[in-house]
Amino acid sequence: MTDQVLQQAIAQIEAARADSNQIPVVKGFFDQATYTITYVVHDPATREAAVIDSVLDYRPNSGRTSFASADAVVAYVNSENLKVTWLLETHAHADHLSAAPYLQEKLGGKLAIGQQITHVQEVFGKLFNAGTEFERDGSQFDHLFEDGHTFKLGNIEAISLHVPGHTPADMAYIIGDAVFLGDTMFMPDYGTARADFPGGDARQLYKSIRRLLELPRETRLFMCHDYKAPGRDTYAWESTVGAQHDSNVHVHDGVGEDEFVEMRTKRDATLDLPELIMPSVQVNIRGGHMPEPEDNGISYIKIPVNAV
Ligand SMILES: [Fe+2]
């Protein structure tokens, strides 16, 4: 079933594939500590760039942040002479902290996430017992994307797709012919993202994935994470819609919704929470900012005991 937004996305990708001016340059930065891929995407004609899903290095034992991952992005942007106009988050990540505020200070750009972040802020605001100073209206971000919001990266057409399931707020960003699909599918040999976080829903995830799979087969897909896979010894993060149809171990053609939901639910029950979930969520729902410092000037990350 092709909805109107999807039709628009398909038209954009087809137009891009017919016009090399609509094809962005994509550079991935792999973070070994959290298995995250940060992307710098740019329009070669105007040098306008977007940074997608940046990583702030964080040591959970000491509570220290550092900037090696973010500085690699800054160095690349500067050496390529790019002008960052967007800092995009596919969702409020639970496995790493966003470096968006640091990058915004160094490089500029508008920070954006999906509109349903307000729902995520509500849920985690409650869990962490955040005070009223923590606004649950998405105002920590410069822009909130809805399904089917069109925008531009330089001269290149772009559109956002709401792809909930892993979290209620997940977005995929389609820039020219390239899809940054966040935590929906992973590489075909690894499968799909978990759907058991608060607000997650395996049935919704299946629907979001099938929607992405309606895009043209040649469409380039860029993963948010890679963990290698049995029989594969190197990290990889680029695939195509066609490859996912043919060989995604969880959602290849022929796998129905009920079968997927059963598999996903069983598998999620065996997964431990990510090591950095507590700091990540508290920081990322604030647009990558630390919680307000206490009266001694120090910010604290909370850990709810026996609540999750
Ligand atoms: Fe995630």
Would you state the structure tokens that stand for residue 150, as one six-digit string? 């069109």
Q: How far apart, in whole angstroms, are the C-alpha atoms of residue 60 and residue 220?
A: 35
Q: In angstroms, what is the span from residue 297 Cα to ligand 1's centroid?
A: 30
pLDDT along the chain (308 residues), means of 10: 92 98 98 98 98 98 98 98 98 98 98 97 95 94 98 98 98 98 98 96 98 98 97 97 98 98 98 96 97 96 94
Query: CA 89, 91, 96, 101: dihedral to nearest 10 degrees?
Result: 40
**How far does residue 151's CA lie from ligand 1's centre (Å)?**
24
The neighbourhood of ligand 1, an ion, using CB within 5 A, equals 93, 183
pLDDT score for 1: 60
Q: What is d(CA 229, CA 226) in angstroms, rounded to the nearest whole number? A: 8
Block residue for tokens 């994509």? 26
Q: Return the pLDDT at 131.
A: 87
What are the tokens at 216?
């043209």
182 C-alpha to center of ligand 1: Å?
7
Our measurement of the distance from residue 301's CA atom to the centroid of its chain's CA atoms, rounded to an integer in Å, reads 22
What are the residues facing 88 on neighbouring strands?
52, 112
Q: Would you state the pLDDT for residue 260?
A: 98
Ligand 1 centroid–CA 172 distance in Å is 12
Distance 277 CA to ligand 1 centre (A): 10
Q: Distance, CA 92 to ligand 1 centroid (Å)? A: 7
Reading phi first (left if > 0) and then psi (alpha if -120 to 50, else beta), residue 13 is in alpha
Ligand 1 centroid–CA 271 distance in Å is: 14
Rounded distance from Cα 20 to ligand 1 centre (Å): 32
- Tokens 């897909």, residue located: 221
CA angle 13, 156, 47 (to 5 degrees): 140
Alpha carbon distance 111, 124 (integer Å): 20
Residue 173's contacts (CB-CB under 8 Å, 6 or more residues apart) are 50, 52, 88, 90, 145, 158, 159, 160, 161, 179, 180
Domain residues of the chain, as ranges?
Answer: 4-284
* C-alpha 81 to ligand 1 mean position (Å): 30
Q: How much distance in Å is there from the Cα of 21 to the middle of ligand 1?
A: 32
Handedness of CA 97, 127, 199, 120 (dihedral sign): negative
Cα angle 108, 110, 3; round to 5 = 150
The alpha carbon torsion through 35, 48, 89, 202 (nearest 10 deg) reads -80
Q: Phi and psi of 146, rounded to 5°? A: -105, 175
Alpha carbon distance 153, 237 (integer Å): 22
Per-residue pLDDT, 118: 97
Instruction: Name the CATH topology of 4-284.
Output: Metallo-beta-lactamase; Chain A (3.60.15)
Q: In the prediction, which pLDDT does 264 show?
A: 98
